[in-house]
Structure 1
Amino acid sequence: MQFVMKKINTLILIVLQFIKGNETLKKKIEYVRGLYRYPRKMMGSEFPKRYFNEDTDVLVFAAHPDDDVLGLSTTLYRHSLNGRRIKVIFVTNGSGRDGESWTIGVSESKKKSKIRYREAVEALSLINISKENIFCFGYPDGGTQRYLKNMAKDIKMLIEKLNPGRIYVHCIEGGHVDHDMTSFVVKTICNKIGYTNLFEWTEYNPIQSLGAQNVTFLPTQSTVLKEIKIEISEEERILKRKMLACHQSQDVEQFFLQGEAIRQANTSQSEIELFEHCQLPKNKLQPILKDFNKSMKRLQKKSFKTKKYCLSD
């Protein structure tokens, strides 16, 4: 009996290892288990009613609830003080566990998703961004690489419907696969449809720890872009800490000293940046991008009359 159980356990480990290396199979498992069935059933999806009623001044794409605060809270606070209409989009529901969202129970995933969204709403309310301006696509935390084509549809739709004056997104820096994939898709879509007023922020990466006060972008082979360091006042630092404290499930208040830096994004070099910095091995990344790029060939460019603001706005 002990021998049989050992064989079964070995077989289970082999199967799990096979699944871990197969993104297509993981996506099928997520579908069968009722976790992620695009577009009608995405765990933790939140789309407030009547969100197309007015143009948007500032549109933020953050991979997880709390990334917006860690990397951009002071910038968003200043936009809010200047009366800008801000919308924040969370690409994933934040319910992951060690990047293996396909293994999480449905009830646990649903519970975590609700907690993460509620915490985000509470945090953003401190800078006068209301719930009706906070969306969540509901993609799996740690699994965005399986949904690039779906993400592209959602992101393109929102940009064209909301007509934002400015967009913010993560930079590609190898800190988290969801950060990099979110950045890659947003940059690709902006490049394809002719949207130019895109800015990116740095957060953490292999040589810059989460909570670093003096943040800077990683050097990249593709281009040299001027970065803008955000000088955070004592009042703004206190506010950042209060916002991070709202994300109680993530224990991120300790990172309130996290600095902020932004720069205008180069949308034509995103694939180069992804191969340069992304944590995914190149042999895994190549087929994912090959499939994604095929779907992007059908996109048509669109002319945007973007509203120009000073960075202080």
Structure 2
Amino acid sequence: MLPAWPSRRSGPCELRQHECVMQHQPDGSGTLAEFAALLLGTAPYSSDGAEIMIVVAHPDDESIGIGGHLAGLRGSRIVHVTDGAPRDLDDARAYGFETWQDYAAARHRELETALSAAGFPPTGLISLGYPDKQAAGNLSSLARELTCLLADCDISFVCTHPYEGGHPDHDATAFAVHAACHLLRRDGRQAPAIVEMAFYCAGPEGVVLQDFNSRPGSECIELHLTEAAFERKQCMLACHRTQQRTLAPFTARAERFRVAPAYDFLALPNNGKLYYEALPLGFEPAVWLHAAAAAYEELRLDRP
């Protein structure tokens, strides 16, 4: 469970229906333009999103990050790193479940119901089954699993979390996606472009919701949702019944994406300003630094 959100920040501009606005930054504009065309259905070829893989930490993250466009991406695959059930049972018991297995099963049912609202088939779901709040302790194995998944699929874009200190599972997922793409390139194989979705992080005036914290050199697009897409997204979020307190503030009518910048995962994200320190997770920043360093060594990744 997350605490009440202290504040919100509005987006940098208002958009008309279907309008795609690219903020300035020339590098990667072709990548984002192609990605936006797939989401908006304006690509020069017929597509159901099969070129896209969505890799997120928890059941419901897909609805937050890209839910407004999932109806047009029925050929894509969604990978969940965790099963959404912390093993400490605090969340499970708060929602009336005796075991983490029962809680995980409930969250999976909520996920399938939410995606059904978008017409997204359950056959497009892949769960890696790591415990909620423990992804950072499994960076190497997670990166290897994602490498295999990306290598076996003809994927042009992988959508995932930014490395911004919103939640340690988010940061671990971002690390694993970047590491997997690095391992593919090191083996002489094609790696997809990494596109980030906006979630939440600590900002200068409180929490930043459904937007990226400012990062020089990062190109961003905002896609405004039609009324039908917005209502469908709100319906999807409502299907995650156990998460309603957490999801209530996610009411933005635009979804934001950017090409992932090059991160130094051996340093704390967001200049050390970590939103998850305000959460009752019991996760210390030093744990991240140790886990990332160990994963760099085990995977033999290039040091930043």
Which residues in structure 2 correspond to 1:212-227 (within 5 Å)? 212=209, 215-220=210-215, 224-227=217-220
Distance in 2 between residues matched to 1:240 and 1:196, nearest whole Å: 26
Which residue pairs with 1:231 in the alignment? 224
Whether contact under 8 Å (1:191, 1:268) holds in the other structure is no
Which residue pairs with 2:194 in the alignment? 198
1:87-141, Cα deviation, whole Å (9 max, x unpaired): 11111111127xx469989961100111111111111122222111111111111
Whether contact under 8 Å (2:55, 2:80) holds in the other structure is yes
Q: Percent identity?
A: 22
TM-aligned CA distance change 1:171 to 1:298, over 3 Å: closer
The structure in which a higher percent of residues are helix is 1
Count of aligned pairs between the two proteins: 234
Aligned counterpart for 1:266 among listed residues 256, 261, 270: 261
TM-score norm. by structure 1 comes to 0.67
Distance in 1 between residues matched to 2:263 and 2:176, nearest whole Å: 12
Which residue pairs with 1:289 in the alignment? 292
CA deviation after TM superposition for structure 1 residue 204, in Å: 1.1
Aligned counterpart for 2:171 among listed residues 170, 180, 184: 180
TM-aligned CA distance change 1:298 to 1:254, over 3 Å: closer
The one of the two structures with greater contact order (alpha-carbon pairs below 8 A, sep at least 6) is 2
- Residues 1:88 and 2:78 are matched in the alignment: yes
Aligned residue for 2:224, secondary structure, equals coil
TM-aligned CA distance change 1:175 to 1:282, over 3 Å: closer
Distance in 1 between residues matched to 2:233 and 2:142, nearest whole Å: 29
Which residue pairs with 2:33 in the alignment? none
Q: Which moved more, 1:264-273 or 1:153-162?
A: 264-273
Distance in 1 between residues matched to 2:270 and 2:219, nearest whole Å: 22
Gaps of 5+ in 2: 1-48, 186-190, 277-282
Letter of the aligned partner of 1:295 in structure 2? E
Letter of the aligned partner of 1:235 in structure 2? A
- Residues 1:58 and 2:52 are matched in the alignment: yes
Rg (Cα) greater in structure: 1
Which residue pairs with 1:114 in the alignment? 105
Which residues in structure 2 correspond to 1:66-77 (within 5 Å)? 66-77=60-71
Distance in 2 between residues matched to 1:298 and 1:178, nearest whole Å: 20
Report the aligned-residue RMSD.
2.9
CA deviation after TM superposition for structure 1 residue 267, in Å: 4.3
Distance in 1 between residues matched to 2:140 and 2:129, nearest whole Å: 14
- Residues 1:150 and 2:141 are matched in the alignment: yes
